[in-house]
Amino acid sequence: MQDKSILVVSENERERTDLTQTLEKIGYDNILSAQGGGNAWAFLKSKKIDCVISSYDMEDMSGIALLKILRREESVADLPFFLTHSAFTKIKVIKAGQIGVTGLFVIPYNEEGMRDKLCRAIEKIKDPMVLQVEESLEKGIDLIEKQEFVQALEVFKSLVNQKENPEYYFNIGYIKTSQGQHSEAIEAFSKATQLDRLFVKAYEAMGRAYKALGDAQKCEECLQVAAEIYMDTDKLGSAEDILNEILEAGTNSLNVFNTLGVLHRKKGDVEQALRQYKKALKVHPDEPYIYYNIGRLYLDMKNTTKAKVYFQAALDKDHGFEEAKQVIKAIDLGLV
């Protein structure tokens, strides 16, 4: 374990010292230190690290914010990352789990538990289910390279349609969190986020296979799913690349324009989001959710007058649109 490097991150010098001493007691010698999340990220960009252990709460950049950055970067997306705190609440466990934390260490530390979790994470001992999915993905990609597209699609379909998909494990994580079983919850969340990263590659590969077979509709459907997974995991650049690829293929799809609108709204570019939503309206002028999404954009811009116009248009298209009714009521009451 002496050759494995661990980066300890905290704004509190005493916390960094205590954690370093604990790690040394359980057999780790190559321990580096960073004062806060910003310094840690700068450090990680310049040096190879085998594991990060970060404080959850920090003012400059929280442990959660640092974890988000790492999970978006392909080069360090799989880096073992642990968070420390004296009392993890259910909300904190869910937030950490959704982003893909490797594990949690409660202060004061349980040395035996820490040794076991670090060993498994740093040595990259993977769950059998994750290994099975990795093997299926590699097999499918190999078949595509051999231009055996039909066989590749059979492998990918079997993979993405299996019962124990990412959503299954996310649900297990939520259940375990509600039961106060935080270690089991994080284990399930970790498995879910690992599978998400594999599934998105599978859907991308399926799209390429369908494209090679001349099935433009199926190609678009698979790439759309891949883009949505990227968006759910906050990889907006990857999602935008895929959506633009679909557009370059000559599609005139409501789904693509709508998803691009959501993507640009997430990026904070409301003007670009508005342009994409209006393109979606040209394709499907009677779709109430597009009007609703435009209304939300105008709320972001603090323009409640225009927002209400679009929420009312959504309601006119669908008289049972409860969300639109509620927002219009809130606007009239001056609550938004």
pLDDT 10s digits, 105-117: 999 999 999 999 9
Q: Residue 296: pLDDT above 80? A: yes
Q: Residue 2: pLDDT above 70? A: no
Most confident range (mean pLDDT) of 4-8, 128-132, 266-270 is 4-8
Which pLDDT tens digit goes with each residue over 9-49?
999 999 999 999 999 999 999 999 999 999 999 889 888 89
186: tokens are 């994080």
Q: Residue 127: pLDDT above 90? A: no
Q: Residue 252: pLDDT above 80? A: no
Rounded to the nearest 10°, the torsion over CA 72, 75, 77, 81 is -120
Structure confidence at residue 245 (pLDDT): 86
CB 116 within 8 A of CB 166: no
Closest CA to 29 of 13, 8, 55: 8
Closest CA to 197 of 143, 133, 252: 133
For the residues 237-263, what does the mean pLDDT come to?
Answer: 83
